[in-house]
Amino acid sequence: MKFSIGGSLKLAFRPWVEGLENIPAEGPAILASNHLSFSDSFFLPAVLDRKVTFIAKAEYFTSPGVKGKLTAAFFKGVGQLPVDRSGARGAGEAAIKAGIEVVEGGGLFGIYPEGTRSPDGRLYRGKPGGLARVALATGAPVIPVAMIDTEKIQPPGKVVPKLMRPGIRIGKPLDFTRYQGMEGDRFILRSVTDEVMYEIMKLSGQEYVDIYATAAKRQIADAEKAAKEAVKAEIAAREESGA
């Protein structure tokens, strides 16, 4: 998969990379990245010599039929780990457990602290549960990563990607062993997460927004709904006045 998919991505898109020397040649680490596009989980592993394991929803691995089996094989091949996301709390705990297992096995665990893709290219507040808890439970270094321009290659809803060069900036590892064993303290979790998000912001150059991306998506959806209703009301008013 790394040769076929990774090689094809590098050949077609020619991603540029800074900071590869910050990825350890062996041993565990957590790669904490901003999230602009579905393709982020493919471009980052493509430029690394080591396997990176990300979390993916279990539905990708359990769909029936030939297409479902091919999809499952593809996601397994590119390092995606299935997690049942039914029920918010259960999904979060499953993701944390999976991340800890990857790290304790000496692997690279990839995670998006924002929890979802940015709706507008800005960097949103990191969720303190997953990233910080895995880091404090394992003592593994956290390496901040910034994906650059991937949202322009494959915007949400677009199937066919645009051929252009994305960028990847990899920062220096962050050591949080001073907080190890304190993963039950929500203030420590918030502090660790905010420190990582600050480093991602410096690497990416994105504008930072101090709300969760999920809340921003709800605001955008509500605004779009309100705009549509306003247009309908205006049309109805014109029709009524014309009658």
CATH number at residue 155: 3.40.1130.10
Kindly state whether residues 202 and 220 are assigned to the same domain.
Answer: no
As to burial, measured by CB atoms within 10 angstroms (0-12 exposed, 13-18 middle, 19+ buried), residue 191 is middle
Residue 166 has a pLDDT of 94
Q: Are 129 and 217 found together in one domain?
A: no
Given this model, what pLDDT does residue 188 score? Answer: 96
The 8-class DSSP code of residue 201 comes to H
pLDDT of 231: 86
Mean pLDDT to the nearest integer, 134-163 = 89
Same domain for 19 and 44? yes
Evaluate if residue 61 carries a pLDDT over 70: no
Distance spanning both ends of the chain, measured CA to CA: 64
Say what the pTM is: 0.84
Number of domains in the chain: 2
Does residue 147 or residue 57 have the better pLDDT? Answer: 147
**Residues 230, 195: one domain?**
no
pLDDT in tens, 27-36: 999 999 999 9
Q: Residue 88 above 60 pLDDT? A: no
Reply yes or no on whether the pLDDT at 75 is more than 60: yes
Range of the domain at 41: 2-209
Q: Are strands 123-124 and 80-83 parallel, antiparallel or unpaired?
A: unpaired
* Res. 162 pLDDT band, cuts 50 70 90: confident
Handedness of CA 49, 78, 57, 170 (dihedral sign): positive
Between 27 and 116, the higher pLDDT residue: 27
Q: Same domain, yes or no, for 122 and 20?
A: yes
